[in-house]
Chain A
Amino acid sequence: MNGSARSNALARALFGALSVGSLLFTWWLVTSLELVKPLILPPPSDVWVGFLDIWHGYLNVPFWNHFLASISVMLGGYAMAIAIGVPLGIFMAWNRAVDWVVGPLLQILRPIPPPAWIPLAILWFGIGYAGKIFIVFIAAAVPCILNSYLAIKQTPPELLSSARSLGAKPHTLLFEVAIPSGLPTIMTGLRIALGIAWASIVAAELVVSLAGFGFLIMNGYRNLESNIVFVGMAAVALLGLLMNLVFHRIERAMLPWREDQDNG
């Protein structure tokens, strides 16, 4: 059993190295033989140049400015979405009157995709931080609200009955039973929101910005520098991955009682 599992893992690693390796090799081959134009696919050397260019301050903007521009807006909007969305979702699930009043409004706003808010945000807040934070907030708030709502609604009835028969009053039921019981679902919502928030800030920066990774990508496009676009995309992906890993750590630390946390 153990032996075959190990040989499976070995085969997996081998095939993985093979596939990623041949992708990189093909990339190097077609670009160095000049089978495709650098605009269509920049050769690895160009990408390295592009990276150094950005690292040392592309268009005289220091790298960390781009990093801070994207991350600060992203985290600001995300934090706002959590701070407002989670309590609102919980409140809606716990109090039917709130649900009746706020629910229909959310049902109307929900099907509007977050990028559709970008032009309106520019119209309302201009092209600065406020507009982008608004977009991230709108995008991230929806999964925060929905999952918090579901989390509370799906509290196992027996847990509530048990707690009541142990003498719990309504506020104890909410804070000590429904919320902890729903925490995994809430955290899933926050994780979905994290991905959507990151994609939204990139989209917003693509439309209009003076700094940030989306700005880099769009500027690379306008100047026909596909290597800059490439590096911008890679940076976005890498940061997205890092944030996801950090979130996963936090999630595990917050839910030590869970068996297997899915890696979805």
Chain B
Amino acid sequence: MADGTAEPSVSRLPAEADRVSTTRTLGDRIEALPNALRVGVMLFFWLAVWYGVVELFGVSKDFLPNPIDVISRIVRLAWEPVGAGPLLTHAWASIVRLLWGFGAAIVIGVPLGLAMAYFRPLQWIVAPLFELFRYIPPIAWAPFAMFWFGAGSSAQAYVIFTSSFAPILINSFRGVQLVDSRLIDAARTLGAKSWTILFEVALPAALPHVVTGLRIGLATGWMALIAAEIVAGTGSRDGLGYLILQGQQQLHADLTIGAMVLIGILGSLIDLAIRAVEGRFAYWRS
């Protein structure tokens, strides 16, 4: 503008509404910084706080190691074996279990959910059973899973299955149920037969919900995986949960925390990947 005053940006944030003015405060300047820079600086700050607390109070390494210890432990894990092998062995074991349990949940959950929405009697049959089992936390299945499959990967995969199954089933079911009935009416008036309606209207419209169900199922499955590896892992010597447990049992807090960090990172990567997939399937939604 001619007189050189800065332009205000009208913020939609609640508390910020009052701040719209022609002068820029320090906060406005920080806000204008790139997000990554702000987050990076703050993460560095928190790591420094962690380091400072450990060093200043002389916290025992068995209790809480400093971040450098943890990072070096993670790096060493790349080649130094714990239990069955180094890091990749454990990460791979966890992912394979996750994929078995998650895969089984997809294979059963998606078709069942879709069919339940399409054939009402099936819904009436399955829904009460589903309600019956719904309040059992997935990890509580671990003992029976071990009775059934032995204390190993299969039992862990079963726990993951029970965890992923519910969100996958529910979202597939809702996906078809929430299809705008006007779309189906429109297709019918255009002369579509029921198979055409199923494959060209109902399923495409339901697909974004199905994929959302898969994302939630993968997230809950990931959580169940770690729980299963800690609870139902007596028979196996691999997996990221096993690393956490080993750290605790051998009083190596750096291993426990390092494994937790790795689990967090891997979990975030998996979530990012499936969100990208989800975005592709929902491209036509606003």
Hey, which bits of chain A sit against chain B, CB under 8 A?
Answer: 11-12, 14-16, 18-20, 23, 39-40, 93-97, 100-101, 103-105, 107-109, 111-120, 122-124, 152-153, 155, 157, 160-161, 164, 170, 173-174, 178, 198-199, 202-203, 206-207, 214, 217-218, 220-221, 224, 226, 229-230, 232-233, 236-238, 240-241, 244
Chain B residue numbers with a CB within 8 Å of A161 are 17
Nearest-Cβ distance from residue B206 to partner chain A, whole angstroms: 18
Q: Does B276 contact A (CB under 8 A)?
A: no
Hey, which bits of chain B sit against chain A, CB under 8 A?
Answer: 12-18, 27, 30-31, 38-39, 42-43, 45-46, 62-64, 121, 124-129, 132-144, 146-148, 222-223, 226-227, 230-231, 241, 244-245, 247-249, 251, 253, 256-257, 259-261, 263-265, 267-268, 271
Taking a contact as CB atoms under 8 Å apart, the answer to whether A113 and B137 are in contact is no
- 23 A-B pairs with CB atoms under 8 Å apart are A16-B124, A18-B125, A20-B129, A103-B39, A108-B46, A112-B260, A112-B267, A115-B231, A120-B256, A123-B247, A161-B17, A170-B15, A170-B18, A202-B139, A203-B139, A206-B231, A217-B140, A226-B144, A229-B147, A237-B135, A237-B136, A238-B135, A241-B135
The docked-state distance in angstroms from the alpha carbon of A241 to that of B134 is 9
**Cβ 8 A contact of B27, one of A96, A117, A221:** A96
Taking a contact as CB atoms under 8 Å apart, the answer to whether B14 and A173 are in contact is yes
Chain B residue numbers with a CB within 8 Å of A199 are 137-139
Taking a contact as CB atoms under 8 Å apart, the answer to whether B148 and A40 are in contact is yes
Question: B124 — nearest CB in chain A belongs to which residue?
Answer: A15
Taking a contact as CB atoms under 8 Å apart, the answer to whether B127 and A16 are in contact is yes
**Cβ 8 A contact of A203, one of B13, B43, B137:** B137
Question: A115 — nearest CB in chain B belongs to which residue?
Answer: B227
Nearest-Cβ distance from residue A149 to partner chain B, whole angstroms: 12
Taking a contact as CB atoms under 8 Å apart, the answer to whether B43 and A119 are in contact is no
Top 5 A-B pairs, shortest CB-CB distance: A15-B124, A119-B248, A115-B227, A221-B143, A199-B137
Taking a contact as CB atoms under 8 Å apart, the answer to whether B128 and A105 are in contact is no
Nearest-Cβ distance from residue A153 to partner chain B, whole angstroms: 7
Taking a contact as CB atoms under 8 Å apart, the answer to whether B244 and A119 are in contact is yes
Taking a contact as CB atoms under 8 Å apart, the answer to whether A153 and B14 are in contact is yes
Chain B residue numbers with a CB within 8 Å of A40 are 147-148
Taking a contact as CB atoms under 8 Å apart, the answer to whether A115 and B257 are in contact is no
Interface of A is mostly: helix
Taking a contact as CB atoms under 8 Å apart, the answer to whether A114 and B135 are in contact is no
Chain B residue numbers with a CB within 8 Å of A240 are 135-137
Q: Can you add 7 more A-B contacts, CB < 8 Å, to A157-B12, A157-B17, A221-B147?
A: A96-B27, A104-B42, A107-B39, A114-B223, A116-B230, A119-B256, A236-B136
**Cβ 8 A contact of B144, one of A11, A155, A198, A229:** A229
Question: A113 — nearest CB in chain B belongs to which residue?
Answer: B223
The docked-state distance in angstroms from the alpha carbon of A214 to that of B135 is 14
The docked-state distance in angstroms from the alpha carbon of A67 to that of B264 is 33
Nearest-Cβ distance from residue A121 to partner chain B, whole angstroms: 9
Nearest-Cβ distance from residue A148 to partner chain B, whole angstroms: 13
Taking a contact as CB atoms under 8 Å apart, the answer to whether A111 and B267 are in contact is yes
Taking a contact as CB atoms under 8 Å apart, the answer to whether A118 and B140 are in contact is no
Question: A107 — nearest CB in chain B belongs to which residue?
Answer: B39
Chain B residue numbers with a CB within 8 Å of A15 are 121, 124-125
Asked if A108 meets B18 with Cβ closer than 8 Å, knowing A119-B245, A199-B137, A206-B231, the reply is no
Taking a contact as CB atoms under 8 Å apart, the answer to whether A19 and B128 are in contact is yes
The docked-state distance in angstroms from the alpha carbon of A20 to that of B30 is 60
Taking a contact as CB atoms under 8 Å apart, the answer to whether B135 and A19 are in contact is no
Chain A residue numbers with a CB within 8 Å of B248 are 119-120, 122-123
**Cβ 8 A contact of B264, one of A23, A108, A173, A241:** A108
Nearest-Cβ distance from residue B63 to partner chain A, whole angstroms: 7
